Structures are given as C-alpha cells and as structure tokens.
Amino acid sequence: MKIDQEYIRVVGNNISPKDIIRAITDTGKQDEAFYVMNVGEVIRKHELWLKTFPKIKPFYAVKCNDSKVVLRLLAALGTGFDCASKGEISRVMSLGVPAERIIYANPAKPSSHIKYAAKVGVNLLTFDNQSELFKIKELHPKAKLVLRIRCDAKDSQCPLGMKFGADKSSIKALIQLALELGLELAGVSFHVGSGCRDLAAFSEGVLAACDALTEMVYCGADPYILDIGGGFLESTIHKVSLSVNEALESVPHGISIIAEPGRYYVDSAYTLATAIHGIRGKEYYINDGVYGSFNCVLYDHANPLPIPLKETHNDDLKNFKIWGPTCDSLDMVNDNVLLPELEIGDWLVWECMGAYTLPVCSTFNGFPVPNVFYIATEDVWKVVQDIITLANPEDQFDPVNFNVTLLQTVSS
Ligand code: PLP
C-alpha cells in the first residue's frame, strides 16, 4: 500500500491508529518505518484548550511539527502561529494565513529574516537584548515588540532559559532603550521550558510578566499583549489552568493573552511504526533511529518506549537494546527496554511521536524520512469539513486549497 503525503484517509469510527498499522504491515509490502497521524487528536486538543483556557488565544509553535495538514487544520480552527524564521513564516503564509495571525517569536533573528518579516507584514516580534533592538530599528521600525523575559520552570524536558529571556535586572534598561529608539512596545512574553513538569511555573511567569508590563507602563509605553509561551502537556493542563487562570486575574485590563503551545497540540496525534530488521542476542536493529524520528532522544531529551504490534505475553519480557539503522554507534534508540523475544519482520509501535521528531529527521546513511499516513474517522471528517466551511473568509483561508481527499475507508 502506497502511503501518500498530505492526504487524509477517512476510516471507520472504531478504527484506531494501531488497526491502520496492522492493516498496512499485514500487506507485507511495507518495508520502511511510517507514521499514522490521527487528525482527530489535533481537533480534540484544540477543543480542550478552548475549554481550559477560554481567555488565551493559542499561537501554535510551528517548529514542533510543520506538517501542512496540521497547519491547515489549525489555520481553519482559528489559531495563530508562532514562527521562528523566514522559512516558517513563508510556509504558514503560503497556506493563506494572514500576517496578523503570526508572531515571529525568536528573540535572536538574522537580519534577512527581519527584513522578510517587514516585507510580508509580520509585525509582532519578540526580543530580549539590546542588539536586537538596534537591528529592528533599522530593518523593521514599525514592529510591535514583545519583550521575552526569563522565567524558568524547576523541572522541564527542555529548559530554554539559558539561551533566551531577559533577566529581571535588564528589563528596565531594555524597555527604556526601545522607547528611546522610538519603537512600539506591545507586551511581554516568557517560556517556562518545553515539556514543563513544574505546575507552578506558568503562574509564576504570569506574575513576573505582570511586573514587566507595569514597568513598561511606568516608562510610558502602552502594552497590550501578554504571551505565556509554550511548555504545556495534556497530562497537567487542567491543574496548570487553575493557577494560570487565577494569576490572569492580576493582569491589567486591556491586555490580550496569547500562548505558543507546540508539543501539546501534536504529540499524541502521531504513532510511529518501525520494523525489526536485525537481531544480535538481546539487541534489536530497527529501521528508524536517532538520525530519523528518534532524534528526539538526543535533542528533545525524550524517552520513547515501544509496544510490540503482535500479541505477546508479559511474563516473557527481557531487557533489550534497540539500535537505529545507520552504521553509527551513537544511533541507539534505547539501551535497556523490556520486550519479548521478537523476530525479524516484527513491528514495534511508538505512541506520542508527533512533537519535535519529523522536522528534524535526516536521511543519514540513505535511510528515508518516514512517510505519514493521515487518518480521520468518519465523525472527525464531518467536523473537519465543517471547520473548513466555517473558516472565516476574512482569514483568506481557501477551503479548496485544503489538500485533503477522501481516498478510501480502511476497515478492520
Ligand atoms: N515558543 C517558543 C519561542 C519556543 O522556543 C518553543 C519551543 O522551543 C515553543 C513556543 C513551543 O514549546 P512547546 O512545544 O513546549 O509547547
């Protein structure tokens, strides 16, 4: 079965990604690793977001997974987009998303990328240092600036504070310099770290951002945005919302609240299937590794765990090492994981692989980046069609360009 890119197959309501993986691998024709992407998960996450954070508009962090299906879906659902570069801005705008729905949220931007943002009308830009202000003054003087402050979670999968975010001690001077240069200060942002496990971090960030907003007003600016960044996980979003929504009560009137969730929207939507093509004692060799999808082990500090596709008995589990397919010994997916004795040609299933995987994959050693098999259940497909129809025409989102096709129904 050929796996096309960027088409959505509509499947029966009781069909799961694992059923699809079984259907594909049972053909005996699928050799390479592949993903099944469940469109319904992204819609479910958006609905949960709206319910949990009714006052916070999400600007999806494109870096996390720049699939056009994901971007088109979120564009139709009405989210904004957090872009890190000219390339991401161009990708999002090529789908008909207007510049006003984009925040260029990289505090250290190459000059040519700032010029591009100015040319296409992306005006909302973050900064955290003086040299960025001088560049922006020269290349994008009409920019609306969001000061990123440092607010680190005590525990996160990927801390970001050592690279970005103005220290408390530098905030006043940055505000004053921006105003001296005649630049517009639109607001304040922070990012607690990706995959945040510290429940108090977001509300602490909101309070620190409120102080910075107050300082802006004191210095003569008129800010109107508070951006609480990314770092959200579905498992903790409810608890986080209780303290964040309470902290938002202290935000001055007239300030719009936005966020930049990435991982939250896409992680659970993607399930990866890999085949075992080599066995050496208690070592399995599979057809995707750290130069492919499992780059997340190195860059995202992730610890993905496999589930054998075929039925096995739990009492026969042993410790195995899992290697990726390249000739590099760094290409180790897991050095100690409990698995049954499997055979060459058996498949392993990896859930929650949608965040910080595909955009970073390489073809090192000639191994291809896994294809994605997009699915929507019949009920979800009806919702997708409604979303497209309802997408605001002012958004210049053209439903005809929503490149998804009802191809076939895979039944169990
Ligand atoms: N915003 C910025 C500026 C980021 O750097 C990142 C991740 O690195 C995100 C948002 C998305 O974070 P997450 O995927 O943890 O929600």
Percent of the chain with pLDDT over 70: 92
Q: What is the mean pLDDT of the chain?
A: 92
Residue 409's pLDDT is: 37
pLDDT digits (tens, 9 = 90+) for 329-342: 999 999 999 999 99
Which residue's alpha carbon is nearest to atom 3 within ligand 1?
105
ipTM of model:
0.99
Over residues 38-51, mean pLDDT: 97
By most ligand atoms within 8 Å of CB, the mutation choice from 45, 63, 74 for ligand 1 is 63
Tokens (6 digits) for 69: 């299906």
Q: How far apart, in Å, are the Cα atoms of 361 and each of 273, 305, 333, 358?
A: 15, 18, 14, 5
Atom of ligand 1 nearest to the CA of 148: 3
Whether residue 361 has pLDDT greater than 50: yes
By most ligand atoms within 8 Å of CB, the mutation choice from 152, 192, 260 for ligand 1 is 260
Residue 67's pLDDT is: 93
CA distance 381 to 387: 10
Residue 295's pLDDT is: 97
For 396-410, letters b (16+ CB in 10 Å) and e give: ebeeeebebeeeeeb
Other CB atoms closer than 10 Å to residue 368's CB: what's the count?
13
Residue 229 CB–ligand 1 contact under 6 Å:
yes
Over residues 186-214, mean pLDDT: 96
Atom of ligand 1 nearest to the CA of 107: 3
Residue 145, SS3 per DSSP:
strand
Whether residue 55 has pLDDT greater than 50: yes
List beta partners, residue 339.
318
For 181, list phi and psi in degrees, rounded to 5. Answer: -80, -5
Residue 104 CB–ligand 1 contact under 6 Å:
no
Tokens (6 digits) for 284: 């399995």
Residue 7's pLDDT is: 75
Residue 231 CB–ligand 1 contact under 6 Å:
yes
Residue 344's pLDDT is: 97
Q: How far apart, in Å, are the Cα atoms of 376 and each of 14, 71, 75, 309, 408?
A: 11, 16, 17, 21, 11
Q: Which of 9-23, 35-49, 146-160 has the lowest mean pLDDT?
A: 9-23
For 173, list phi and psi in degrees, rounded to 5. Answer: -65, -35
Q: 282: CA distance to ligand 1 center in Å?
A: 37
Q: 19: CA distance to ligand 1 center in Å?
A: 32
Q: 258: CA distance to ligand 1 center in Å?
A: 13
Tell me if 33 sits within 8 A of 293, measured CB to CB.
yes
For residue 329, give the nearest of 268, 274, 283, 396 by alpha carbon: 283
Whether residue 396 has pLDDT greater than 50: no
Whether residue 59 has pLDDT greater than 70: yes
**If pLDDT is split at 50, 70 and 90, which confidence band does 351 have?**
very high
Residue 312's pLDDT is: 83
**If pLDDT is split at 50, 70 and 90, which confidence band does 274 have?**
very high
Residue 315's pLDDT is: 73
**If pLDDT is split at 50, 70 and 90, which confidence band does 293 have?**
very high
Residue 382's pLDDT is: 85
